[in-house]
């Protein structure tokens, strides 16, 4: 299915009972909605589960120049909820998708009931502008390397399972170098710009035990700064932890969603 937006068509899929609590999953750089196939299958009996190809990925249109990729995509996510007649939802994001979740929670606090942050870090209070000095080296490396090496590098440094790596090799080629460079650059700008204040919704913060130390540190620090958060380390998993080792992730996710749903009903 497609959402027709100002930038063009945005691909999405939705499963589960129409009147069930909603959860939307948002993927990372050089991925697509299939990142969350296992989560859709695990949750669709009790939840309205929504996945989408974010702009510049999968079957969705490119975003073009914007002041913030994550903020613009957050607006599209809310437009998709409107299209589906859903007022509020839990938003779950992996890496780049987590940035989108944070922007949505900040801009639309009444519509984001809770957040699931996977392999990411908080955009508040933002990082040093010096962080951006690293980006030209990343762009030049991606541009200089043959696509075969780029896709192998992405897969090797984000996943443990060969099945997960094969998926990422496919989606890296599908996304293309130019889009990867553009979106990665937007992520770096977002880290530097930050958010003026942290979203306050209940949060599940999850990272894989094989992910980069930088990601693990950001996740732990995020949890320490946000009182209403819970931190989970998934064993035997890299950046795409929900594919590398889905069962521990599903246990933590179901428990978190059950508590959020019970809290919403009680209030």
Residues 80-137 have pLDDT tens digits of: 999 999 999 999 999 999 999 999 999 999 999 999 999 999 999 988 887 777 777 7
The values of phi and psi at residue 108, to 5°, are -130, 60
Whether 266 shows a pLDDT value over 80: the answer reads no
Q: How far is CA 259 from the centre of its chain?
A: 21
Closest CA to 208 of 198, 218, 200: 218
Whether 167 shows a pLDDT value over 80: the answer reads yes
Q: What is the tally of structural domains in the chain?
A: 1
Cα four-point dihedral sign 32, 55, 51, 68: positive
Closest CA to 80 of 106, 49, 35: 49
Helices (H), 62-176: 69-83, 96-107, 135-144, 147-156, 162-175
- Whole-number pLDDT of residue 141: 85
Domain that residue 246 falls in:
2-127+193-266
- Give a yes or no: residue 254 inside a domain: yes
- Give a yes or no: residue 172 inside a domain: no
SS3 label, residue 122 = coil
- Give a yes or no: residue 85 inside a domain: yes
Q: What is the H or E stretch that residue 208 is in?
A: strand 203-208
- Quickly tell me which residue has 């962080």 as its tokens: 131
Residues 19-76 have pLDDT tens digits of: 999 999 999 999 999 999 999 999 999 999 999 999 999 999 998 777 789 999 999 9
SS3 label, residue 106 = helix
- Whole-number pLDDT of residue 157: 92
- Whole-number pLDDT of residue 190: 92
Q: Greater confidence, 226 or 140? A: 226
Listed in sequence order, the residues at least 6 apart from 259 whose beta carbon sits closer than 8 Å to its beta carbon are 202
Beta strands in the chain (DSSP E): 2-5, 8-15, 22-26, 48-52, 89-94, 112-118, 203-208, 229-234
- Give a yes or no: residue 182 inside a domain: no
- Give a yes or no: residue 154 inside a domain: no
- CATH number of the domain enclosing 54: 3.40.50.1820
- Give a yes or no: residue 141 inside a domain: no
Mean pLDDT of all residues belonging to the chain:
94
- Give a yes or no: residue 33 inside a domain: yes
């Amino acid at each position: 299915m497609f959402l027709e937006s100002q930038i063009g068509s945005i691909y999405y899929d939705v499963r589960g009972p129409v009147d069930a609590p909603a959860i939307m999953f948002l993927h990372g750089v050089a991925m697509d909605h299939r990142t969350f196939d296992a989560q859709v299958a695990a949750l669709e009996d009790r939840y309205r589960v929504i996945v989408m190809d974010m702009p510049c990925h999968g079957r969705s249109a490119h975003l073009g120049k914007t002041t913030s990729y994550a903020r613009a995509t957050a607006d599209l996510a809310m437009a998709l909820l409107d299209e589906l007649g859903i007022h509020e939802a839990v938003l779950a994001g992996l890496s780049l998708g987590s940035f989108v979740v944070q922007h949505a929670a900040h801009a639309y606090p009444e519509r984001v009931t809770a957040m699931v942050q996977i392999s990411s870090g908080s955009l508040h209070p933002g990082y040093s502008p010096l962080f951006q000095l690293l980006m030209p080296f990343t762009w030049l490396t991606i541009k200089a390397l043959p696509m075969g090496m780029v896709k192998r590098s992405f897969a090797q440094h984000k996943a443990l399972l060969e099945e997960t790596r094969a998926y990422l090799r496919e989606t890296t080629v599908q996304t293309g170098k130019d889009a990867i460079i553009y979106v990665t650059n937007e992520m770096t700008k977002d880290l530097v710009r930050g958010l003026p204040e942290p979203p306050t919704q209940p949060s599940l913060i999850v990272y894989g035990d094989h992910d980069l130390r930088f990601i693990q540190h950001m996740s732990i620090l995020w949890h320490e700064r946000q009182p209403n958060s819970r931190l989970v380390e998934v064993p035997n998993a890299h950046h795409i932890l929900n594919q590398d080792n889905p069962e521990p992730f599903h246990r933590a996710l179901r428990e978190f969603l059950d508590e959020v749903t019970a809290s919403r009903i009680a209030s």
